[in-house]
Structure 1
Amino acid sequence: MAIQTRGAWRSWLTGGILFVAAFVILFMVPVPYYIVQPGSALEVRPMIQVEDASNHEKGTFYMTTVSMREGNVVGYLASQVDSRLELVPKKDVLGQNGDPKRYQHVQEEIMRQSQYNAVLAAYREAGRPVEEKLLGVEVFRVLDGMPAAKVLKQGDIIQEADDRKIESAEELLAYLADKKPGERVRLVISRGGDKKEQELELASLAKSGGEDRPGIGIEPVTLRRVEAQPKVTIHADEIGGPSAGLMFSLEILNQLGDQDLTDGLRVAGTGTISPEGKVGQIGGIQHKILAAEKENADIFFVPADQGEQDSNEKKAKTTARKIGSDMAIVPVRTLKEAVQYLKEQEVAGRAS
């Protein structure tokens, strides 16, 4: 009898070890992919507050997101049979740096810039007072092994280059593009409120894995301040990326006006926005269509395909057709086009 008990115990132990091993392999062993899938359709109104706004929305504006998590064996296998799951190589997401925290930090900065653009686009469309003040170029990151690593720090603000006033990252890059590796450039920077002069020798950015062109070895961000009347605030929590720009602009514009653009409709969408109100392409459009469909959206604004490389409009319509959605897929090139479409829907609704 004791022998049988010992044998049963060994069987249980072997089974337990095999179960733990299988669990570890399936759920704990990483694969070199991220798994991307539909995220959420989030109400924009709670995120944005225009001072003294009195316009009450009958409907809702939604921004759409994708969900992204590190892949494991289970996720990899599931993606082979579930079309909602997309495998994206980690290197395509994280770049050469390969740091997830760094990636999230970058996405949050991109979101911040997108919010500035959304305010500018909306207030200009509404004809309301708004001013953009360019304050210089912030050093967002210093690249290892490049000239800047010796003299610049994250958070430094570059204000001049060789006695030339620098107000934006584009100006700095354009100025350096005319030089050659080995040439020197003198920068005036602000660090903690103190002005300093630093001289650097340019090097090829290929040394840090970039293009073969001259640079000092930083990731630059235009430091700017947007002042609008009435004042507007945006709180998007930890959401990153630029793709909520269009929907932010629509919500701001709706709060600025006395006409409810939603007119009782559930309006979802995506797209980057420029300060001039131009709508740009984004990633993961098929997942965002599914997120909007789950929220029973009536309309989905998608960036219109304009160039040979553009595919948002095509993929959005294909996805909607595959899932049998009756959601209106509306391609737009500008904020103005989106506003005009909504106004036309209101007129059509009154006529019917």
Structure 2
Amino acid sequence: MSRKRYTRSFLFAVIIIVLSAFYTLPYYVTKPGMAQELEPIVEVAGGDDAEGSFMLTTVRMGKANIYGYLVAKMSKYQELYPEDAIRDTDESDEEYSERQLHMMDGSKNSAIKIAYEKAGKSFSFDYLGVYVLGVIKGMPAYGKLKPGDQIIKVDNKKFQSSAEFIEYIGKKKANDTVLVTYMREDIEKTVKISLQAFKDQPKKVGMGISLDDYKKPITDPSITINTDQIGGPSAGLMFSLEIYNQLTEGDLTSGYQIAGTGTMSEDGTIGPIGGIQQKIVAADKTDAEIFFAPNEKGIKGSNYQEALIAAEDIDTDMKIVPVDSFDDALDYLHSLEKK
């Protein structure tokens, strides 16, 4: 082969490789993320410092290109998921991101509520309006509202919950028009939106949004949690432990590096999460000594059982602790001898 033909072939191959790296497949790939110390993220006014650390654990996720797909197929702790297993039908990237960030906000709210109530500190919620999670294509709100908007009034009527909002809209008829007052990027706006029957529920009318409550915790002492762009609800348990530790005297960590995961409900129940084995790998790489895993009341295939399998496989010295509630985690921490 002549030098010129070889050069052309080589350049062509390079171009194909580069272009294929930007071509994404209809899959998401997840892999172990990191274990991140919470004390720099959570700040309770006048809160105590700790000798050890509470850490949230994350899973990295992104769209799979050809090479990412092949690597995930060959990797034990990387997983592939079809797009429809991650995002709702017709959900855009923006809507998915907004949903994940809102879930993180809900996780923080539940964690704050549990920690402040358990510590005997002042806590309440200030209801701010209806949070728009997504907008259904083809429905009247499409192109008028967008994910992240905060509806504060409809027809000059304020609501104390999203349930009240749904009840009000539900009494309307198809083709009725409502005046929606909402906040977008701290600017108040108004828009008229007609109502329409849903295709899959012809007796039900609406503007075509998925929604949730938007509320702000009011606390004494004050608290600030800076999560930047971390999304999802899985850090609820670890947030609640860090907040409680700062609110109360003494050091719950007893000097240990403690990681974990699990959703937190407002009654203190810990719920399961995805990617538990990848989080075990992430925590082990950060030299965590203890890991709290949702026990799910001991059901077969629980997060705790899956965590044990991964822990044994990677031969970690990290102790895996099953928990069903915030009180379970507290009881274990109170039993620790100081390191």
Greater helix share, 1 or 2?
A: 1
Pick closer, same or farther for the CA change 1:157–1:8 going to 2, 3 Å: closer
Instruction: Report the counterpart of residue 3 of structure 1 in structure 2.
Output: none
SS of 2:71's partner is helix
SS of 1:318's partner is helix
Structure 2 residue aligned with 1:136, among 129, 134, 141?
Answer: 129
Pick closer, same or farther for the CA change 1:65–1:100 going to 2, 3 Å: same
SS of 1:45's partner is coil
Matched, 1:14 2:5: no
Give per-residue Cα distances to partners, 1:170-205, cap 9 Å, x unaligned: 44446767x798496967755689798978545226
* Identity among equivalent pairs (%): 36
* Gapped regions of structure 2 (runs ≥ 5): none
Shift of 1:49: 0.6
Counterpart-to-counterpart distance in 2, 1:322 and 1:144: 46
Counterpart-to-counterpart distance in 1, 2:125 and 2:142: 30
Pick closer, same or farther for the CA change 1:174–1:334 going to 2, 3 Å: farther
* Gapped regions of structure 1 (runs ≥ 5): 1-5
TM-score, reference length from structure 2: 0.86
Instruction: Report the counterpart of residue 113 of structure 2 in structure 1.
Output: 120
C-alpha contact (below 8 Å) 1:59/1:266 kept by paired residues: yes
Shift of 1:102: 3.0
C-alpha contact (below 8 Å) 2:101/2:231 kept by paired residues: yes
Flag the structure with larger Rg.
Answer: 1
Matched, 1:242 2:233: yes
Shift of 1:112: 1.7
C-alpha contact (below 8 Å) 1:189/1:195 kept by paired residues: yes
Shift of 1:106: 2.1
Instruction: Report the counterpart of residue 222 of structure 1 in structure 2.
Output: 213
Shift of 1:17: 2.0
Structure 2 residue aligned with 1:46, among 40, 49, 62?
Answer: 40
Pick closer, same or farther for the CA change 1:156–1:41 going to 2, 3 Å: closer
Matched AA of 1:334: S
Matched AA of 1:59: G
Instruction: Report the counterpart of residue 285 of structure 2 in structure 1.
Output: 294
Counterpart-to-counterpart distance in 2, 1:308 and 1:216: 40
Pick closer, same or farther for the CA change 1:169–1:307 going to 2, 3 Å: farther
Shift of 1:278: 1.8
C-alpha contact (below 8 Å) 1:162/1:185 kept by paired residues: no
Instruction: Report the counterpart of residue 204 of structure 1 in structure 2.
Output: 198
Instruction: Report the counterpart of residue 69 of structure 2 in structure 1.
Output: 76
C-alpha contact (below 8 Å) 1:139/1:158 kept by paired residues: no
Matched AA of 1:77: L
Counterpart-to-counterpart distance in 2, 1:183 and 1:292: 54
Matched AA of 2:285: K
Pick closer, same or farther for the CA change 1:297–1:198 going to 2, 3 Å: same
Shift of 1:16: 3.0
Instruction: Report the counterpart of residue 78 of structure 2 in structure 1.
Output: 85
Matched, 1:34 2:28: yes
Counterpart-to-counterpart distance in 2, 1:291 and 1:131: 35
SS of 1:337's partner is helix
Matched AA of 2:53: T
Shift of 1:126: 0.7
Instruction: Report the counterpart of residue 334 of structure 2 in structure 1.
Output: 343
Please, what is the CA RMSD of the aligned residues? 3.3
Shift of 1:101: 3.2
C-alpha contact (below 8 Å) 1:40/1:292 kept by paired residues: yes
Counterpart-to-counterpart distance in 2, 1:273 and 1:62: 15
Matched AA of 1:84: Y
Give per-residue Cα distances to partners, 1:20-68, cap 9 Å, x unaligned: 324433x233221111000000000000111112x22111111000011
Shift of 1:76: 1.4
Instruction: Report the counterpart of residue 268 of structure 1 in structure 2.
Output: 259
SS of 1:157's partner is strand
C-alpha contact (below 8 Å) 1:305/1:314 kept by paired residues: no
* Equivalenced residues, count: 336
